[in-house]
Amino acid sequence: ELCRDFEVVEVFAFEEVCSEECRVVTTVREELARHHASRLQLHWGFELYHRDDLPFDPARHVPKSYSSFRSAVEEKSKVRPPLPAPNFRESRAARWPGHDDRPLPRLEELVTFDGPLPAADPRAEIAWLGGETAALKRVDEYLFATDSLGFDYVGATMTTNPAKSVMRDKALSKLSPWLAHGCLSPRRLHAE
């Protein structure tokens, strides 16, 4: 649909390794070819350790357990610093052709919602708001404002001891959704 509506010059996406995501990449590549669009450019993202810095070739061998992976990378690899935030006001890549005198549209201008958003589930431990701003607010609150990492974090422990229960508020960071959707850089979190 985007190829029909716009002159697609290039498509950028993250390199994937899981089967379902690889099928999506293949489908996107086929659609681009069908519409004679430019190539799909894949880049590694979402990872804490850069692929080139791993002490093994992930295309040939990946440790079979998280513990062996962690041991290998902690001993023989370093986490790269996060990249600086892009300046979209000066970026040549972030342009809206024919509308250079106007800023890029906001999500609310592009997407309309039919009716109100669903009500929050009362069982939810945290109100999930998407985006980097909400993610950074949670990092600041969890790591610095309340020092929950130092006082409350228990990790993924399974215990009947209420003092070490992951069900307690602030026992876990709850940053996973922001990390999984690319709203929070694992390298930035590591640097914090």
pLDDT by residue (tens digit) across 102-137?
666 677 777 777 777 778 888 777 778 889 999 999
Q: What is residue 44's predicted lDDT score, i.e. its pLDDT?
A: 81
The set of residues, in sequence order, having a beta carbon less than 8 Å from that of 173 and lying 6+ positions away, is 138, 142, 148, 149, 153
Give buried/exposed letters for 28-58 (b at 16+ CB in 10 A, else e): ebebbeeeebeebeeeeeebebeeeebeeee
Residue 51 DSSP label: G
Specify the pLDDT at position 143.
86
User: CA 27, 16, 6, 115 torsion: positive or negative?
Assistant: positive
pLDDT recorded at residue 5: 77
What pLDDT, on the 0 to 100 scale, is given for residue 93?
63
Which residues are bridge partners to 13 per DSSP? 42
Which pLDDT belongs to residue 92?
Answer: 66
Predicted local distance difference test score (pLDDT) of residue 10: 83
Q: Please identify every stretch of the chain with a pLDDT value under 50, giving residue numbers as ranges.
A: none
